[in-house]
Amino acid sequence: MSATIPNLGVCYYPEHWPESEWAQDAARMTAAGIQRVRIGEFAWSRIEPREGEFNWGWLDTAIETLGSAGLDIILGTPTATPPRWMVAKHPDMLAYDHEGRPRTFGSRRHYCFSHEGYKRECARIADALGHRYGGNSYIQGWQIDNEYGCHDTTVSYSPAARDSFQKWLMNKYKSPAALNTAWGNVFWSMEYGDFDEIGLPNLTVTEPNPAHILDFRCFSSDQVVAFNRAQCETLRAHTDKPLIHNYMGRITDFDHFEVGSDLDIASWDSYPLGFLEDRSDLGDEWRTKFMRQGDPDFQAFHHDLYRAVGKGRWWVMEQQPGPVNWAPYNPAPLTGMARLWTWEAIAHGAETVSYFRWRQAPFAQEQMHAGLLRPDGEDASVMGEVKRVAQEIATIGKTETRAADVAIVFDYTSAWAWDTQPQGQDFDYFRLVFDFYRQLRRLGLSIDILPPNMRDFGNRKLVVIPGLMSWSDNLRQAIDNFSGHVLIGPRSGSKTSDFQIPAALPPDLDGLDVKITAVESRRPGGEIALEKGGQFRIWREFIETNAEVVEASEDGHPALLKSDNLYYLCGWPDDTAMIRILEQMATTAGVDIEHLPTGVRCRTFGNKQLYVNYAADRAVVGDHEINGTDILLVDQNNKRLQ
């Protein structure tokens, strides 16, 4: 259990505005109820305009001005925006795309994680910042870099990546013979005689060996971990304040749990309307219904995910307050949504919710991106909501997060595995896990997300493990020791860690008498009806078993099986089948459920419950009504607090 007193923050760019405005900006922030301000994460060209020539004056003044106004400062390392001179100094530091082209200067994130020279430059600037500000009492946290993986930047096909990948493989396999066996390189005469013969898995004639791709994805993730670690180690020498990174929505290209293990707090950047337009799998009807509110589950999923990544400590580092500039369509949020999103994050345990950004920039790439202030410096319309929510959260005191009854396991390696080998173009790991999450939430449940190496599920009642590529020893042990119910599949345990089909056939789990003998993917329109209602879509499996068949498909194949407390699902259920099966599982596992109206979701925290209404219309929950885009906060006696 963890407890926190939540607060609000804002992202600010003093280098964008005349120094004469900083003091007034700071005073207006605190007057609005804002307590934290993040600065500096893109300011390298102003901090070090030429190599080795530092210009600290403006940053000293900005920190003094903001800090003395009463704001806690989060200082970013500016390594997501290497300045032009850096690229001139290290022309080979750029990342290369899948087609083998360098991704050039003129925006941001133009670096390859494998470039050792650039990594050293990052440690150097982090060291200079730490040296200067590590003891500054206004600095209450450090953000390292900005949004790893954003703009598709985790995977790079550069010469630097190739050299590092060869070393990584040598370290992992020790001999080319071991690699050849693990990858199955006898197939198509792909055997290697030396590690320096191995290229990157792009630009091949037809598909590369999936084991080659998967190792390259694991390597690419490890490079992010190492890059982040280098700055952590540097900063730790100067400060004991928390080190933080701001992750993104639906980015699965690197293992966030691994990166998070070197940090003190996880944070993420929540853009509900941008994400709905840009990265939702749901159809036009749903997107139109929620286009000004965001998907009712997307934010919560990431709140729960990053609570796990942050080992209990997490923030929203950037919260959308108005239209963004980067999605295919950029509507304005309905009135009330900025407040609702803030409250929702707090109910999931956020320590800080920080809006992006203070004043809308009239220049450069994001001039169409709203802030709390308009470009002319007047309050944008959302400011009233921010002030209101600041006052409201000031009254609730400590918020508490306890383990939820229900949990879902989330595994980044599985995302890479099914990207590599979807075996059906609609098979996407995030989409599969998120489908389970959404239907659990429709049942009124609070959910924890767990990493794939848990050794113990604690007192939980139901754990769901969809699409997990392979079992870790820890997870096998957790399942073995668990007396609650576990819902497994589809596709869980279908590969060894070398990305081969297990000799015993999947899912290859003790205690589960199931053998997957064949699988198929199905096109839209090719769904398979289930006897008890709903359908399998996208994926289904054929099995041999002596376990109890809980339900079958109408074409006569087992669909859900049970061996003691372990259940196996032989396909990807549609919404109707999914919610029915999850309701049945939750009820047998002794979890209380509550069917919620469309767009209403609930999160229990401490002895309170927060209901949020993402729909535009009024909804009824028990004895209470909630207006569209409003919240309902109740105590343990069901008394309305907000």
Residues interacting with ligand GAL, by CB under 6 A?
Answer: 146-147, 150, 269, 271, 318, 324, 356, 366, 369
Structure tokens at 47: 């901090």
Q: Please, what is the minimum distance in Å from the beta carbon of residue 390 to ligand GAL?
A: 22
Output 333 or 606, the one with its CB closest to ligand GAL. Answer: 333
Choose among 8, 68, 69, 78: nearest CA to 39: 78
Using an 8 Å Cβ cutoff, are 141 and 265 in contact?
A: yes
Output 380 or 505, the one with its CB closest to ligand GAL. Answer: 380
Output 36 or 369, the one with its CB closest to ligand GAL. Answer: 369
Q: Please, what is the minimum distance in Å from the beta carbon of residue 345 to ligand GAL?
A: 16
Q: Please, what is the minimum distance in Å from the beta carbon of residue 146 to ligand GAL?
A: 5
Choose among 641, 612, 642, 605: nearest CA to 629: 612
Output 306 or 471, the one with its CB closest to ligand GAL. Answer: 306
Q: Please, what is the minimum distance in Å from the beta carbon of residue 365 to ligand GAL?
A: 8
Q: Please, what is the minimum distance in Å from the beta carbon of residue 16 to ligand GAL?
A: 12
**Rounded to an integer, what distance in angstroms lies between the CA atom of residue 126 and that of residue 120?**
10
* Residue 51 is a catalytic residue: no
Choose among 168, 46, 48: nearest CA to 114: 168
Residue 395 neighbours by CB distance under 10 Å: 8
Say which residues have a Cβ less than 8 Å from residue 81's Cβ, sequence separation at least 6: 41, 42, 43, 44, 45, 108, 109, 146
User: Tokens 């993420």 correspond to what residue?
Assistant: 268
Give the start-end residues of each E strand in 210-264: 243-247
| Candidate list 147, 344, 351, 551, residue with the active-site label | 147
Output 386 or 445, the one with its CB closest to ligand GAL. Answer: 386
Output 275 or 499, the one with its CB closest to ligand GAL. Answer: 275
Q: Please, what is the minimum distance in Å from the beta carbon of residue 316 to ligand GAL?
A: 12
What one-character-per-residue DSSP string does 244-257 give?
Answer: EEEE-SS--SS-HH
Structure tokens at 466: 């969809």
**Rounded to an integer, what distance in angstroms lies between the CA atom of residue 421 and that of residue 486?**
26
Cis peptide before 507 (omega within 30 of 0): yes
**Rounded to an integer, what distance in angstroms lies between the CA atom of residue 49 and that of residue 56?**
11
Cis peptide before 603 (omega within 30 of 0): no
Q: 401 by DSSP, 3-state: which? A: strand
363: left (phi over 0), alpha (psi -120 to 50) or beta: beta
* Residue 147 is a catalytic residue: yes
Using an 8 Å Cβ cutoff, are 221 and 255 in contact?
A: yes
| Candidate list 48, 258, 318, 541, residue with the active-site label | 318
Output 237 or 368, the one with its CB closest to ligand GAL. Answer: 368
Q: Please, what is the minimum distance in Å from the beta carbon of residue 356 to ligand GAL?
A: 5
Q: Give 238's strand partners.
A: none
Three-point CA angle 491, 493, 494, nearest 5°: 60
Residues taking part in catalysis:
147, 318
